[in-house]
């Protein structure tokens, strides 16, 4: 049975066609966030291009472009008759994983420094961000001070 | 004088056909009893929120099915009239009803609207809406149709060449199977924007009901070409044998089709704890 409510759904995509951000970019960033945060588990089969395009009222070419972008980034794999499946991040070699995490950490460190914050604040932000992956904030949860 | 009498007679018959056509088309499109049966079979709690789209969709489906039924009746009646008699061809009416069912699914189109659009990430397949038992029955019927069709074709080729009967049924079967495939894809893939959960449940129920009824009707209709193919094979293998037993195939197909379309369990009911 398809999702009969948000509770069973692995995730919901939202596209705002009035936004200045192109629909392609909105979709790509949401899907990559879901995959990187583990909301979409490894092996999860994404909906077919036509289905997702119809549901969101977008051109199938837009969704196809998103899927190929994700595939190029190593987040999904596409195979004929199997569709598009969330790829395993564990297949990468240790060197590649270390290089990618170092790059991400450097980017984050630069962003924090630009905000004028120190190492303790950065570590605190990482810690909070990490726990939010396991307990995503809901609409009713209190906003951070 | 005789020409005039014939003209009056056929005029009256024509009016009767037209009246029957209008009678089939008129009448309530959706009754409370029909909605209740639908809701109970699909384990759907109909409420003021999802009731409106459910009734609207059922009305579209019923309108087209009736139009197909009436068209089948009129076309068969007109066909028989040109041969100087008036027939009520139930096969043509059923076929018309089936075509109407298929067309109706194209008319239901909840296209994504507004600027903020939401979609969930679940894949929808036939298995999401049709039970395993019904899918197996449909698959077996289509497989039997293809197998016996090919066998009958080989038999006919070995004899005096393919018969017009075989060619007609083979083409009709191929056309019907293609239409079935296209409509199935259409129902499964038509837009399903994320909305309140009772609206989404109603949407699932409508898809499940449509696919199950269409699968059952396809099984029943497959009895026609199957009977013809088996009769052709039987005639070849045992020319003196009585081929009337092949009618049994037709009856079995009809009974199975009726069961699938109107009596079998739905995926939603199976998923709902008793």
Model pLDDT, residue B219: 96
- CA angle at residue B65 from B62 to B66, to 5 degrees? 85
> Would you say the ipTM is above 0.90?
no
Contact A47 B197 (CB under 8 A): no
Nearest CA in chain A to B115: A17
CB crowding A31-68: b at 16 or more within 10 Å, else e: bbebbeeebbeeebbbbbbebbbbbbbbeeebbbebbe
Contacts of B190 in chain A (CB under 8 A): 54
- If you count them, how many residues does chain B have? 274
- Read off the pLDDT of residues A21-45 as tens digits, 9 standing for 90 and up: 999 999 999 998 888 888 888 888 9
Mean pLDDT, range B89-93, rounded to an integer: 88
HEC profile of chain B: CHHHHHHHHHHHHHHHHHHHHHHHHCCCCCCHHHHHHHHHHCCCCCCHHHHHHHHHHHHHHHHHHHHHHHHHHHHHHHHHHCCCCCCCCHHHHHHHHHHHHHHHHHHCCCCCCCCEEEEECCCCCHHHCCCHHHHHHHHHHHHHHHHHHHHHHHHHHHCCCCCHHHHHHHHHHHHHHHHHHHHHHHHHHCCCCCCCHHHHHHHHHHHHHHHHHHHHHHHHHHHHHHHHHHHHHHHHHCCCCCHHHHHHHHHHHHHHHHHHHHCCCCHHHHHCCC
pTM of the model: 0.78
pLDDT at A136 over 90: no
Give the pLDDT band of residue B274 (cuts 50, 70, 90).
low
Rama region for A139: left / alpha / beta (φ>0; ψ in -120 to 50; rest) = alpha
Mean pLDDT, range B62-89, rounded to an integer: 84
Contact B116 A55 (CB under 8 A): no
A132 in contact with chain B, both atoms CB, cutoff 8 A: no
Contacts of A30 in chain B (CB under 8 A): none
* Chain A: closest CA distance from residue B267 (Å): 7
**Residue B121 phi, psi (nearest 5):** -105, 25
For every residue of A96-145, DSSP letters joined together read HHHHHHHHHHHHHHHHHHHTT--HHHHHHHHHHHHHHHHSPPPTTSPPP-
Better pLDDT: B71 or B164: B71
Q: Which of A11-15, B129-133, B210-214 has the lowest mean pLDDT?
A: A11-15
Contact A56 B122 (CB under 8 A): no
Better pLDDT: A6 or B273: B273
Model pLDDT, residue A143: 46
Better pLDDT: B48 or B162: B48
Model pLDDT, residue B244: 72
> Alpha-carbon distance B242 to B232, whole Å?
12
Contacts of B200 in chain A (CB under 8 A): 3-5
**Averaged pLDDT of chain B:** 86
Contact predicate B116/B68, CB 8 Å: no
Contact A16 B268 (CB under 8 A): no
Percent of chain B at pLDDT exceeding 90 = 41
Model pLDDT, residue A63: 95
pLDDT at B4 over 80: no
Model pLDDT, residue B176: 92
Q: Which of A87-101, A131-145, B122-136, B249-263 has the lowest mean pLDDT?
A: A131-145
Q: Hey, which residues 55-84 in chain A have their CB within 8 Å of chain B? A: 55-57, 83
Give the pLDDT band of residue A7 (cuts 50, 70, 90).
very low
β-pairing, A76-79 vs A12-16, is unpaired
Q: Which two tokens stand for residue B191?
A: 């837009």
Contact A4 B124 (CB under 8 A): no
Least CB–CB distance from B192: residue in A10, A40, A55 = A55
Better pLDDT: A41 or A143: A41
Number of Cβ within 10 Å of residue B267's Cβ equals: 24
pLDDT at A80 over 60: yes
Q: Which two tokens stand for residue B122?
A: 């679940």
Give the pLDDT band of residue A91 (cuts 50, 70, 90).
low
A15 in contact with chain B, both atoms CB, cutoff 8 A: yes
Give the pLDDT band of residue B15 (cuts 50, 70, 90).
confident
B190 in contact with chain A, both atoms CB, cutoff 8 A: yes
B186 in contact with chain A, both atoms CB, cutoff 8 A: no
Least CB–CB distance from B190: residue in A15, A52, A54 = A54
Model pLDDT, residue B150: 92
Q: Which residue has the tokens 């009222």?
A: A57
pLDDT at A1 over 70: no
Task: Look at residues B205, B207, B217 and name the one whose alpha carbon lies nearest to residue B138.
Answer: B217
Mean pLDDT, range B252-270, rounded to an integer: 92
B273 in contact with chain A, both atoms CB, cutoff 8 A: no
B193 in contact with chain A, both atoms CB, cutoff 8 A: yes
Q: Which residue has the tokens 């007609």?
A: B168
Model pLDDT, residue B22: 74
**Residue B153 phi, psi (nearest 5):** -65, -45
Contacts of A3 in chain B (CB under 8 A): 120, 122, 200
Contact A56 B124 (CB under 8 A): no
Give the pLDDT band of residue A4 (cuts 50, 70, 90).
very low
Give the pLDDT band of residue B161 (cuts 50, 70, 90).
low
Model pLDDT, residue B67: 87
Contacts of A8 in chain B (CB under 8 A): 122
Model pLDDT, residue A5: 40
- Say whether A79 sits in a helix, a strand or coil: strand
B105 in contact with chain A, both atoms CB, cutoff 8 A: no
- Read off the pLDDT of residues B21-43 as tens digits, 9 standing for 90 and up: 676 667 677 888 889 999 999 99
Task: Report CA B140 to chain centroid distance, whole Å.
Answer: 17
B8 in contact with chain A, both atoms CB, cutoff 8 A: no
Mean pLDDT, range B109-119, rounded to an integer: 77
Model pLDDT, residue B148: 92
């Amino acid at each position: 049975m398809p999702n009969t409510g948000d509770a069973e759904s692995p995730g919901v995509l939202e596209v705002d066609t009035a936004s200045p951000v192109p629909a392609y970019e909105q979709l790509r960033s949401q899907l990559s966030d879901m995959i990187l945060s583990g909301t979409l588990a490894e092996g999860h089969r994404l909906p077919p291009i036509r289905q997702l395009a119809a549901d969101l009222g977008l051109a199938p070419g837009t969704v196809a472009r998103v899927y190929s972008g994700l595939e190029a980034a190593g987040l999904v794999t596409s195979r004929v008759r199997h569709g598009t499946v969330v790829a395993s991040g564990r297949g990468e070699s240790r060197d590649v994983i270390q290089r990618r995490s170092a790059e991400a950490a450097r980017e984050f460190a630069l962003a924090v420094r630009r905000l004028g914050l120190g190492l303790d604040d950065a570590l605190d932000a990482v810690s909070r961000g990490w726990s939010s992956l396991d307990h995503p904030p809901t609409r009713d949860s209190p906003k951070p001070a | 004088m005789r020409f005039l009498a014939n003209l009056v007679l056929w005029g009256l018959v024509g009016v009767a056909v037209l009246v029957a056509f209008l009678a089939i088309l008129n009448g309530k499109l959706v009754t409370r009893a029909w909605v209740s049966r639908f809701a109970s079979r699909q384990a759907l709690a109909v409420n003021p929120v999802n009731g409106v789209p459910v009734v609207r969709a059922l009305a579209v489906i019923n309108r087209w099915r009736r139009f197909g039924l009436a068209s089948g009746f009129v076309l068969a009646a007109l066909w028989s009239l040109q041969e100087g008699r008036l027939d009520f061809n139930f096969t043509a009416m059923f076929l018309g009803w089936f075509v109407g069912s298929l067309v109706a699914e194209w008319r239901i189109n909840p296209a994504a609207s507004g600027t903020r659009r939401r979609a969930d990430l679940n894949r929808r397949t036939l298995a999401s809406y049709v039970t395993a038992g019904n899918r197996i029955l449909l698959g077996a019927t289509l497989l039997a149709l293809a197998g016996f069709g090919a066998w009958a074709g080989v038999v006919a080729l070995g004899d005096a060449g393919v018969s017009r009967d075989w060619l007609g049924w083979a083409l009709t079967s191929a056309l019907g199977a293609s239409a079935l495939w296209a409509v199935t894809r259409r129902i499964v893939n038509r837009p399903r924007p994320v909305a309140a959960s009772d609206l989404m449940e109603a949407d699932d129920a409508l898809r499940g009901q449509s696919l199950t009824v269409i699968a059952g009707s396809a099984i029943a209709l497959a009895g026609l070409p199957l009977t013809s193919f088996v009769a052709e094979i039987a005639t070849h293998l045992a020319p003196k044998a009585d081929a009337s037993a092949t009618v049994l195939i037709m009856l079995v197909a009809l009974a199975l089709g009726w069961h699938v379309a109107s009596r079998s369990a739905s995926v939603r009911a199976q998923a709902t704890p008793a």
